[in-house]
Amino acid sequence: MSCHICFKSEHMTTHAVLARIYNDNLRLLETKAYDPYYAESLFKGPWGALFYLFYYERYIDNREQHAVKWLQTLYNTLQPQPTADYSYCSGPTGVFWLLHHLHHHQFIDIDIEWLASDFIANAIRESDQHLSQHNFDLLHGSAGICHYLLAYHQQKAVRAHLEKFADTLLTASRMTDKGRSLPVFVMFETPVETGVDTFSLAHGTCSLLILLGKMYQADIASNTCKQLITECISFMWNHQNERRPEVPHALFPGILDGQQPFSRLSWCYGDFNVALALWHCGHYLQEDQWKQQALDVMRYSLNRNTDATAGIVDACLCHGSAGVAAFYRKFWYATQEPAFYAAAEHWHNNTLEKVLFSEEPHIHGIRGWEGIDKQWEYCWDLLDGSSGIGLSLLSHIQPGPLPWDEALLLS
């Protein structure tokens, strides 16, 4: 465990934490205190810190206007060829998604069609390469690129590629007696041929179903999308764990690898992922039963209200308390059910209790659990660090939903 001097935030208000993150992100950008490998990353690099700056300046404090300046600075340093790859997580696909998002929601005024014209062709080529390898990952494969491309679905080349995406996914799927399996998640310690299903937004079925729902709504490969969605939802629903209302537990496993059926409450895997896929697909295909199933899952999760029962260790968006709060807020706004608001409030306060900054000026972010290898480290990025935590905290004190969570497919 790190021995750095820490600043305990137990007496900090939400606004104080948000201001601290804002100023910390400014220092981070000024000193370029990030890994050059992630210089073009939305989820693990400076573009996630920039994402937070825009929302802080619009919704919390607009007296200082630094976001546009840093957008220009970061954009001017983009390389003709990505430092890492084209992925949504680590490469320029995330950057161009953010540019479109900021333009669409009127944070900035740019000619987004001109700006994206060359990149779209490159993104399609990269996604094609992923499809040839059956890499459908949201963060690191074709799905993340297609998530970006959906905004340009009226373009002929984009439409053709999205149709190919659906067809290739159908080819990679497998019909079973419980529904259609999508064994596209590859465990690192096993050969490529042994892909498994994972009920995941980050890496598997749930993000794929949401993307297919968006394609269906846009009248792209409608029959294929409907078939995949309908049969894959049956597969997910038929893989529930036994219900034991008296014992807080996961309804769905995160990964169907034959190991532990447990999954934590998180954005990346598990019950929330299944609920969100059901909710969105129910909306896109006008299937009210799926939306009711989504609410059933979310209501069942309410009694997992401690760190231990929810599997929560830190505050991050990906697998921490800030992400849990974001899900309950999503369903509160959608349904106005008081229990969802109470849960969002609970996990918002839980997040505030977990916020821990370093007092050393060269160490940025909030302390988070980075796994057995790294253990506790200070993280400032969107996925695992203070930039994402800040967006969740910021949303809780607004009168209505904010669109930043489109990045995570919540909206």
Annotated binding site: 268, 318-319
Integer angstrom CA distances of residue 304 from 144, 246, 279, 315: 30, 11, 20, 16
Q: Is 141 helix (H, G, I), strand (E, B) or coil?
A: coil
d(CA 184, CA 402): 32
8-state DSSP, 394? H
Q: Is 373 helix (H, G, I), strand (E, B) or coil?
A: coil
Q: Which two tokens stand for residue 149?
A: 């491309």
- Count CB-CB contacts under 10 A for residue 314: 24
d(CA 286, CA 238): 21
d(CA 172, CA 145): 18
d(CA 385, CA 369): 10
Helix axes 338-354, 386-396, angle to 10 degrees: 140
d(CA 291, CA 140): 29
d(CA 407, CA 97): 8
d(CA 358, CA 341): 31
d(CA 67, CA 108): 10
Annotated binding-site residue numbers for Zn(2+) = 268, 318-319
H-run or E-run covering 213:
helix 205-217
Show Cβ contacts of residue 118 under 8 Å, excluding neighbours closer than 6 positions.
Answer: none
Integer angstrom CA distances of residue 408 from 16, 317, 391: 25, 9, 12
Q: How many CA atoms lie within 13 A of 247 on its CB side?
A: 8
Q: Which amino acid is at 162?
A: L
Helix ranges, 9-141 (H): 14-31, 46-59, 67-76, 92-104, 112-132
8-state DSSP, 173? -
Show Cβ contacts of residue 403 under 8 Å, excluding neighbours closer than 6 positions.
Answer: 101, 105, 411
